[in-house]
Structure 1
Amino acid sequence: MILRTELGDFSVINEPTYTFGSSDNVRSYPFEKNLDSGAPPVSVHGVFLNEDPIAVFGATGGASGVHEHSAVFHNGCLYLAVSDSVICLLLQSFEFKWFLRIDTATCFGVHFHEPTCSLISHGELEISRFTESGEIVWQSSGRDIFTGSLVLGEESVAVTDFNGDQYRFRYPDGRYGA
């Protein structure tokens, strides 16, 4: 996945063979963070700026892959889905700001709804709105896991669960409706 920004082109890749703390990795990163230190991660994602490696992150929650919704860029920060968490990186001067366990299973992706300035995570069990400072505004769940598509509508987040049931969660409060 590639995000084109005023700071350059950011790309995110899967790093399934990366071992934290080892010098025998295919690539080395100036910053590495295993969110669950001491436990081998299930998901590992590397971040690049203009093809140069800048950071690698891993976590032990549910497995996540890299795709078009693995990260969003907003207000100089990269919000990255890794396993069950969202990570926030300040990119101008590179700073790891925070990580937030956003789903009890897996975070499938991160989205930004411009009209409402909403950061939204598509989790396996919860759809969440969170702030730029890493606080959860609301979380909403359904009858089954959210394996279907997530669409940012005008007034609500539309998502489909494993059974094909559709939900709409309002941006301000996460309540079902709209």
Structure 2
Amino acid sequence: MKTYQFKDLTIELLDEPTYNFGSSNNNFNYSKHYFGDNAIDYCSSKHGIKIYKDFQIIDSCIIIGSGGVTCIHQNSSLIDKEQFLVCCGDTIFCVSLSNLELKWKTKADQATCFKILQQREDYIVHGELQISKLDKNGKIRWEFGGEDIFVCIDSDEEFKIENDGILLTDLSKTKYKIDFDGNLIALNNMGS
């Protein structure tokens, strides 16, 4: 679970792996449901959002994604002004904080979206197969793929934003540096 404070609201984001859409046996029934592409038939991740004011729930929604499994961690979500962005499966969901209405959803990776970070007015998404940049409306501005997946078993160096670009390491230990327009600046194949 992850908790945010926004104005006089508390936003709670939690994994809901046992939630069943349409069931009356859920521990909590969310008022709104949002699905990624193919998530009704193949669901991999379910993340609940609850908004509290004065310790009372005032609204809730659940986002249900397909693709690879995601979990809640430090960089799997962010608040940007009046909107809340969450990685869920292969999709980034953006909901309004005023009423938890879905503003947009974008399939930002063919497998799994691990992290979303703000970069000026846009968002950088660390996916399993690619790195992508989304604008404020969820439109993909660019995508960058490597020789292997952007996952490192023995390191947390697979994705790092610096002042002049993004450092990436794939599973075969190839290191990349790209600029904020998705262009390759440097390549160092350490694995071969």
Compute the TM-score of the two structures, normalised by the length of structure 2.
0.84
**62-71 vs 159-168, which moves further:** 159-168
After superposition, the CA RMSD in angstroms is: 1.8
Q: Does 1:127 align with 2:131?
A: yes
Task: Name the CA shift for 1:89/1:164 in 2 (closer, same or farther; >3 Å).
Answer: same
Q: Number of residue pairs matched?
A: 175
3-state SS in 2 of match to 1:159? strand
Match of 1:174 among 155, 162, 182: 182
Compute the TM-score of the two structures, normalised by the length of structure 1.
0.90
3-state SS in 1 of match to 2:12? strand
Gaps of 5+ in 2: 153-157, 187-192
Structure with max Cα Rg: 2
Task: Name the CA shift for 1:159/1:7 in 2 (closer, same or farther; >3 Å).
Answer: farther
User: Does the 8 Å contact 1:129/1:137 carry over to 2?
Assistant: yes
Deviations 1:105-132 (A, max 9, x none): 111111112xx32301110001000011
What is the deviation of 1:8? Answer: 2.4
Partner of 2:41: 39
What is the deviation of 1:45? Answer: 0.6
Gaps of 5+ in 1: none
What is the deviation of 1:103? Answer: 0.3
Partner of 2:142: 138
Matched residues, percent identical? Answer: 27
What is the deviation of 1:2? Answer: 2.2
User: Does the 8 Å contact 1:20/1:34 carry over to 2?
Assistant: no
